[in-house]
């Protein structure tokens, strides 16, 4: 539970308005939490500590993988790959990096965005105990003004 609390604190305290935006998807014994937002929503010290430029023209993707059931949530290390596709079918490979803080493990990527841009994300996560990756997709529109 402590690790989930750390993730929740990070997402909700450092990203205003994130509480209603965090989404999740379940695969076998895992829950993957994800979110995408503009980097100007990050508090300055958090952005600086993760090397993210705070800007309304930068997007941030956050991913955390946790083991189920909810009574025994534990963060899980994984291989995470992501890409974003524009509506014009232009692909952006995202450089996903692992962050470990205390007992928390999560993954971040930052990337350029423009006003009203719609990106289709494809995310692959492969927890260390799993042979085949889990893949999920989601769409996000960014508003930079």
Question: What's the gap between Cα 128 and its chain centre?
Answer: 18
DSSP state letter for 4: H
**pLDDT tens-place string over residues 90-107:** 999 999 999 998 889 999
Task: Output the pLDDT for position 133.
Answer: 97
Instruction: Indicate the range of 2-11, 32-41, 107-116 predicted with least confidence.
Output: 2-11
Residue range(s) defining the domain that contains residue 126: 2-141
Question: Taking residues 43-59, what's their average pLDDT?
Answer: 94
Q: What is the CATH number of the domain that holds 84?
A: 2.60.40.3340
Tokens of 98: 């692992």
Tally of domains in the chain = 1
Task: Output the pLDDT for position 15.
Answer: 52
Task: Output the pLDDT for position 1.
Answer: 40
Q: What's the mean per-residue pLDDT of the chain?
A: 87
Task: Output the pLDDT for position 83.
Answer: 98
Does the pLDDT value for residue 16 go beyond 60? no
Specify whether the CB–CB gap between 44 and 54 falls below 8 A.
yes
Global pTM reads 0.84
């Amino acid at each position: 539970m402590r690790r989930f609390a750390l993730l929740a604190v990070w997402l909700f305290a450092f990203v205003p308005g994130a509480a209603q935006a965090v989404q999740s998807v379940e695969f076998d014994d895992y829950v993957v939490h994800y979110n995408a937002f503009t980097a100007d929503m990050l508090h300055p010290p958090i952005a600086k500590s993760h090397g993210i430029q705070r800007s309304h023209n930068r997007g941030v993707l956050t991913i955390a993988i946790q083991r189920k059931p909810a009574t025994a949530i534990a963060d899980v290390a994984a291989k995470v790959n992501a890409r974003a596709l524009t509506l014009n079918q232009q692909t952006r490979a995202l450089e996903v990096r692992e962050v470990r803080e205390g007992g928390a493990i999560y993954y971040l990527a930052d990337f350029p965005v423009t006003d009203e841009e719609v990106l289709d994300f494809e995310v692959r996560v492969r927890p260390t105990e799993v042979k085949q990756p889990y893949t999920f997709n989601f769409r996000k529109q960014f508003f930079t003004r």
